[in-house]
């Protein structure tokens, strides 16, 4: 009578399965990482809802401003049709409202993976970890830019249909600068939300912190009549970044509004990006030194 033996290749009961050999020729590159992050972002239903709310707030805020101008023409004073003051009056309400869901989406792009544990899989595929954060930044910047561009285009068309005077005069001084500044600020704000989320790793903490900073902290520091704060206010991320939507003359006039110094439009935007780089560096160090 012959005894049946198990094949030599079968693992013993309870022993871990052998690791799969790496596939030859397969290498994770940064473009592959960006593509993976792009797919992950658009695989979430919350992305579509958040961007829809962004567009709704952007266009709705601009439309309400155009309605006000149509009903009360005195609001624009003697400003020429389609000039910078009118374009700003139309686009700024939509930008101030529309940035909020962008901040939330950007923060959730990072914190959502920590909440579900998917971050471990991402870092297993890209052991260096920092490229994952950079890829998320690229994806968030592109999505914020495209969404804002659509929002601006629709807002301009809707506002122009409500009040002809709001249609931008693209040949007027600084009109193109202001419109592009709206897009640039939205991208910078979204990257700020991403950086805060990467540092805190908690959805609730990140959303509360970044929206609280933009809506509450900055406004409170602006209203407090304390002289040392005159050196702090120009360095606040949202306030500094917003100067990119102004003309150089408007930015310089801010020195008379409780500021120790007035950053130029590009200088203020550099301050906003400086916050992004600083927080992003902290997040990158934390990625390399702590587990997900």
Which pLDDT does position 8 carry in this prediction?
A: 46
Task: Evaluate whether residue 61 is within a structural domain.
Answer: yes
Which pLDDT does position 92 carry in this prediction?
A: 95
Number of domains within the chain: 1
Q: Residue 85: which of 1, 14, 178 has the closest Cα? A: 178
Task: Evaluate whether residue 53 is within a structural domain.
Answer: yes
Which pLDDT does position 225 carry in this prediction?
A: 83
Ranges in the chain, pLDDT < 50: 1-25
Whole-angstrom distance, CA of residue 27 vs CA of residue 217: 45
Dihedral, CA of residue 231, residue 233, residue 234 and residue 236, to nearest 10: 130
Whole-angstrom distance, CA of residue 30 vs CA of residue 135: 7
Whole-angstrom distance, CA of residue 154 vs CA of residue 184: 17
Task: Evaluate whether residue 55 is within a structural domain.
Answer: yes
Encoded tokens for 184: 């640039």
Task: Evaluate whether residue 180 is within a structural domain.
Answer: yes
Q: What is the DSSP string of 42-103?
A: HT-HHHHHHHHHHHHHHHHHHHHHHHHHHH-GGGGTTPPTT-HHHHHHHHHHHHHHHHHHHH
Task: Evaluate whether residue 14 is within a structural domain.
Answer: no
Task: Evaluate whether residue 131 is within a structural domain.
Answer: yes
Look up the domain containing 111 and give its range: 31-289
| Residue tagged 């390399």 (tokens) | 288
In degrees and rounded to multiples of 5, residue 173 shows phi and psi of -60, 130
Relative orientation angle of helices 175-200 and 203-212, to the nearest 10 degrees: 140
Task: Evaluate whether residue 2 is within a structural domain.
Answer: no
Task: Evaluate whether residue 35 is within a structural domain.
Answer: yes
Which pLDDT does position 3 carry in this prediction?
A: 47
């Amino acid at each position: 009578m012959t005894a049946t033996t198990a094949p030599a290749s079968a693992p013993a009961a309870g022993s871990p399965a052998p690791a799969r050999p790496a596939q030859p020729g397969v290498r994770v590159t940064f473009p592959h990482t960006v593509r993976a992050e792009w797919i992950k972002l658009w695989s979430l239903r919350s992305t579509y809802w958040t961007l829809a709310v962004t567009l709704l707030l952007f266009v709705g805020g601009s439309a309400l401003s155009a309605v006000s101008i149509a009903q009360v023409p005195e609001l624009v004073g003697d400003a020429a049709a389609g000039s910078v003051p009118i374009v700003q009056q139309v686009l700024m309400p939509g930008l101030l409202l529309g940035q909020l869901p962008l901040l939330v989406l950007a923060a959730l792009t990072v914190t959502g993976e920590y909440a579900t544990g998917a971050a471990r899989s991402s870092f297993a595929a890209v052991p260096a970890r920092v490229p994952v954060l950079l890829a998320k930044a690229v994806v968030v910047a592109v999505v914020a830019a495209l969404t804002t561009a659509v929002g601006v285009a629709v807002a301009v068309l809707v506002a122009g249909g409500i009040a002809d005077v709001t249609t931008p005069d693209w040949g007027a001084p600084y009109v193109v600068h202001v419109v592009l500044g709206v897009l640039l600020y939205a991208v910078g704000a979204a990257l700020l939300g991403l950086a805060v989320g990467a540092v805190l790793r908690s959805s609730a903490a990140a959303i509360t912190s970044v929206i609280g900073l933009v809506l509450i902290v900055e406004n409170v520091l602006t209203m407090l009549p304390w002289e040392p704060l005159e050196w702090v206010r120009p360095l606040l991320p949202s306030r500094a970044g917003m100067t990119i939507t102004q003309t150089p003359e408007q930015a310089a006039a801010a020195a008379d509004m409780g500021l120790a110094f007035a950053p130029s439009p590009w200088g203020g935007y550099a301050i906003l990006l400086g916050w992004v780089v600083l927080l992003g560096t902290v997040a990158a160090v934390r990625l390399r030194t702590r587990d997900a």
